[in-house]
Structure 1
């Protein structure tokens, strides 16, 4: 069975763990239906809620284009069948996160070409102002004015940046980004970067371009999205080498991802040792499974409640001063 067949089989069948089985359409449409299970998860750990560093909010017409791309099984999705679990209005999605007890989240957005980032940053600043719990998010792309608009976003209160090397098709070590990385390093603002080669490789994905970036900016607060899948161990190595490198859990360890880009069991001790630099990420609303499955996937790693408390709340709370 090839990768695409495996994913189709997953989507069309119940997950092996009944706790992680997708809800019905009716249940998924009710904001409160999944919420009690999510709240039980963090309540059992004695947490005040969750902090999710990888959630997507963007202008509605842009988000709908993203959903259309997933629906069409475009090449950047690896050609996988990828139903969007939370295909809802912006108000419904923010209400759902509130019902889950997500006390802080991001509005990850990204340009696929030059000339978009400044406009997206303006939208994101407005979204953060009108949305309780949203960490003001901004983005960037290698272009002549990137240094200027990154500084503008920082001065406007941006608290986290999104860099999407795969979609943007750019080298993170591109010389045009030098000033921007310097501004973010000086301001100590984290950058969540999709730089791993999953679910499909890009021209500049993988650890090598990021290694070149960190050689020049070793104190850049970098959050490697998706645990760097599938180059998990290489990105763990960068976190071990650079004390400002973190990784987010987005889609890692789930049944969906384990079927085609499994996390190596031999690396679990390294994951445990880096427990203070692993952050909860979900990819909400764009996941092909319920939100709670990401939490259960972390729990079943067996790394203990202290590790879960740090990953699901405390590490990000410390990073963002919550």
Structure 2
């Protein structure tokens, strides 16, 4: 509901022109206006990791992949590419091992950095050089252009680049960067720059979980879903085979019990999508008398959803006639 996004310090933006820094500041304000909470963090270790792509021994992987081919077809290969790859063949093994160890430390730092945030916002690149400028300094310019992106693949992270205005007469963009497999939060946050709703989950995955009480949107335990990165997937209604009971718990919550169509009714709820890991953590923290099991919906499908131990439900107050937890709360508060 309110994404938390990390942004770099002023000194981390030194590679940008004044116009680029102003455009980035405007992008941060645009996010904040859309309801995002931002906080400044030190991203210098990530920028150091990015430099390993060109300045370190990791380029030895390129020699291992195509070095022999380049050596045998030197005239058919771009001179700059050939020079980089052939030079990598002379790197000592200990240098590669040392850079791989550095990369491991940077990866731990990156995940620790994002532990309190949903994403990191950075400029996508440092500028837009023309062809003549690239030909004059191909390695240096490419390295500078990748200042804020080269670490993403190296640290096994995910990112979405999105336009965010102009700087110095050219397009300006930002990247929303997340941990691996958290592409969807990056897509959701990037969509805030377009003024449009985020696209359907990509990939269309996750495990559906039906909730019927205190975990509904706006209810006191909904944060237990959103804190795991769960995504709201719409309203649902059960088949007419359930009873709903108000339990004596703190905070108040209902219990859903299957009784069959002859004695049951349809109950309103919501469906959320969780990753398998998030669902496991959610289930491990679920207190009695609640449990998760298969719940039949009114379209005949079955989904994972909240259920209640029948013995515990028997001690509560039957509220089935209201058709759902929200309707019950509205009726009792009137």
Instruction: Give TM-score scaled by structure 2 length.
Output: 0.18
User: Larger radius of gyration, structure 1 or 2?
Assistant: 2
Greater percentage in strand: 2
Greater percentage in helix: 1
Greater length-normalized contact order (CA 8 Å, ≥ 6 residues apart): 1
